[in-house]
Amino acid sequence: MKLKITITTALLFAFFYSSAQEISDTKFGKGLINFVAKDSSFSVKFAPRFQVRSISSWDHNGNIYESPEHNFIVRRARLKFDGFAYSPKLKYKIELGLTNRDVSGANEFNRNTPRIILDAVLKWSFAKNFELWAGQTKLPGNVERVVSSANLQLINRSLLNSRFNIDRDLGIQLRHKSNLGGHFLMKEKFSISQGEGRNVTEGNIGGLQYTGRLEFLPFGKFKSKGDYVQAAIKREETPKLMLGFTYNYNQNAVRARGFAGNYLFRNDGSIYETDQTTIFADAMFKYEGLSFMGEYAKRSAKDAIAKNLDGTPTGDIVLTGNAINLQTGYMFESNYEIVGRYTTLDFESETGKLPQEQYTLGVSKYVVGHKLKVQSDISYSTEDGKEDNIMFRFGFDIHF
């Protein structure tokens, strides 16, 4: 293993050294390498990025806030490759994660190895307005999750997303877009996937996962795909709105959150299975310097309490409930932005979890859009209506 890493490092060093004296016409934020074959048979763009974070957290113990806990981390470090192969109608994307948070989650179902691969997907435009995707990538879930972590207007995504999103999986997706008249657009996205999340190598334990999403854009397209970019990086001269609705059904799911969480093992080593359903309704709105994102999520299960074969509880419970997330920001001409977010979580009684609320206020400076930015935010959280936590975060992003 060490030999492979050494050889790979040596090859990368040799490549960059051989190119060090060349002048490229690419720009910062457009990819470190942009290459198209002379015969136009393929292309590749290489774009590394990383995020550094400082986090300070104060827990409330019922009387006072305790001494803060400080943490400094490289939150994300990614290597992304994309382009086309053979024909511009056949596109691909590969994204690799390098940090502990990116690669954690080793278990017997992925041969106890780091989960390095985030995306490995082909996208084939086989007919007008149709695309067929195959491989591992994000499912068409809530808009906040599908927005890249490179394009967030706060330090991280909301509690709604961390508890109820459906994330990445391995399978196929069919996508289509229609013009309903004038500027009115509709997009349809359908997926059939393995159901257990990314990097599973030892086969599908439960059933498959089925996802469908409809999006309506009554005022036409956003600039630069801005319906999936947070903040008014590109100012819209006229109002733009995207309304999205997602239905996800994970048949015989074997993990506490469908695609993620603990596997629901019984005492005899077998795995408890139950159907899980997740729905999302969300919106993205932009006009000039104003941006707004709203989301509703709900997860339910046929039987949320995992049971042994004799009917006794195993101790594991499917995370069911619902959440609302509202987020708005205003981008000034100086490229400073002020952002506010409100999130509420309400869990089903069998989970044993108390309702939560979180209020977040953030400030960002976009030096080169999302490609080079400095951000900070502060959050105040309650649990069951009582003070729970205060958290301050600061960080920067750099994306080549």
Q: How confident is the model at residue 62, as a pLDDT?
A: 85
Q: How confident is the model at residue 24, as a pLDDT?
A: 66
Q: Give the whole-angstrom CA distance, residue 317 versus residue 206.
A: 17
Residue 109: Cβ within 10 Å count: 19
Six token digits for residue 6: 């050494």
Q: How confident is the model at residue 202, as a pLDDT?
A: 84
Nearest by Cα to 299 from 191, 137, 179, 142:
142
Q: How confident is the model at residue 32, as a pLDDT?
A: 87
Residue 320: Cβ within 10 Å count: 22
Q: How confident is the model at residue 10, as a pLDDT?
A: 45
pLDDT in tens, 145-202: 999 999 999 999 999 999 999 999 999 999 999 999 999 999 999 999 999 999 998 8
CA distances from 266 to 205, 261, 271 (A): 14, 15, 6
Q: How confident is the model at residue 22, as a pLDDT?
A: 58
The rounded Cα 87 to chain-centroid distance in angstroms is: 28
Q: How confident is the model at residue 201, as a pLDDT?
A: 86
Nearest by Cα to 340 from 288, 293, 289, 394:
293
Residue 3: Cβ within 10 Å count: 7
The rounded Cα 330 to chain-centroid distance in angstroms is: 23
* pTM of the model as a whole: 0.92
List, in order of start, the domains of the chain with CATH numbers: 104-366 (2.40.160.10)
Give every residue of the chain whose pLDDT is below 70, as ranges: 1-24
pLDDT in tens, 351-391: 999 999 999 999 999 999 999 999 999 999 999 999 999 99
Q: Give the whole-angstrom CA distance, residue 118 versus residue 79.
A: 10
